[in-house]
Amino acid sequence: MLRTAGWLAGVGVVEGAEEKGTGGRVPLMVYVGTFSSPLKDVLPTQVDLPPGNGRGIHLFRADGETGALTAAGVVESGVSPSCLVVSADGKFLYAANETERRGAGKVGTVSAYAVSGADGGLKLINEVESGGAGPTYVSLHPGGRFLFVANYFGGTVAVLPVLEDGRLGAAVCVREDAGEIGPARSAHAPAGSFAFSGHDRTHAHMIRADAGGKHVLHTDLGLDRVYVWRFDEKSGELTPSDPAFVSLPPGDGPRHFDFHPDGRRLYVIQEEASTITVFDYDGEKGVLAERQTISSLPPGYAGSNFCSGILVSGDGRFVYAGNRLHDSIGIFAVGRDGTLSFVGEEWTRGNYPRSFSIDPSGRFLYCCNQRADHVAVFRVDKRTGRLEFTGHFAAVGNPSAVAFVELKGG
């Protein structure tokens, strides 16, 4: 019996569950962040979030042979821990709490948790302000000493120091986006699209360092820009690169991005245009050069769609793109020059796929169907890139993000 009540005491109700076998593989814990705040607790401009059906961070044990998830507990949290990131050594987990509950200044928070190496349980270490309202994305610098936050409703990005014991310090750098807001509709969206989500103000949506750690990139959906910053690994300061940003077509709404494993390509997905833009990337200079733009949808699609996540496979051969309302994951092959060609699509078996992640083995993809209140499990064909539904679901209210920890002591 998996018991985590003692470890989680003081941070939430925990539900024990029987462990399943792992097929001789390293035991894998799967953490699912959710939207757990009722609408009255978030900004009135929030447009795509249903009442929070999640209960906080949901814990699961993964079966190494089938990908199936077995419930292993819940860390109760009413502040929508919608994005999760795990330290490289698997000892700490950090959660962006997508609300504005902290203080009169309408700022969100980021929580730090210690991960039990024995059973994957979480223990809250501390919680700090995120540097803006509605933190929607967190990532760690490759060196592990800083955590980056994108504050969607605040239009800011922030750098938080990671202390030796895993706790977070107060922000050492906060940068606020500014510029001309793009139009409500994208000229490049599918025919008949009414997709409108974030061109009402600045909306910092994602932030992440490149593999070398010299530069940090972030998207602003409302400004239709990808920013590039030089990063000081001693102070945590962000200073504008030259040029400071690249612009996407007005109204397209760049949301998320992912790097190719070789570090020389960047793939950016546009939420309102339903497109993917491929950039060549110079990691020494922090310079982006556009190479290709391709639809995230199958040929001939018409109507509204909101793109969500984008993910490059570990071997760099395939790119996966999330389509909400079309409710699919687009599958693309990566050419020798980094450009994409459409391979096919896979229905997500649910509604509004907000994000998806591939497990450390590369064998299973876990898709968060936000409005269907479940995580669906797919097997990844590493040869063709295609996805095959395993028949497995895990019930989770309004799932938003998935993170993994391989248990050394499991």
Q: In this predicted model, what pLDDT tens digit does every residue of 28-80 receive, in sequence order?
A: 999 999 999 654 444 444 444 455 899 999 999 999 999 999 999 999 998 89
Q: Work out the burial of residue 1: count CB atoms within 10 Å of its CB; fewer than 13 is exposed, 13-18 middle, 19 or more buried.
A: exposed
Helix or strand run (H / E) with residue 220: strand 215-220
Question: In terms of pTM, does the model score above 0.85?
Answer: yes
Residue 204 is encoded by which pair of tokens? Answer: 């910092």
Q: Could you check whether the bond before residue 51 is cis, i.e. omega within 30 degrees of 0?
A: no
Structural domains in the chain?
177-347 (2.130.10.10)
Q: In this predicted model, what pLDDT tens digit does every residue of 282-319 receive, in sequence order?
A: 999 999 999 999 999 999 999 999 999 999 999 999 99
Over residues 231-260, mean pLDDT: 98
End-to-end C-alpha distance for the chain, whole angstroms = 13
Least confident among 13-17, 128-132, 198-202, 325-329: 13-17
Q: In this predicted model, what pLDDT tens digit does every residue of 89-121 receive, in sequence order?
A: 999 999 999 987 666 668 899 999 999 999 999
Whether residue 367 contacts residue 348, with contact meaning beta carbons closer than 8 Å, is answered with yes
Checking if the pLDDT of 244 tops 60, the result is yes
3-state secondary structure 15-72: CCECCCCCCCCCCEEEEEEECCCCHHHCCCCCCCCCCCCCCEEEEEEECCCCCCEEEE
Whether residue 33 contacts residue 84, with contact meaning beta carbons closer than 8 Å, is answered with yes
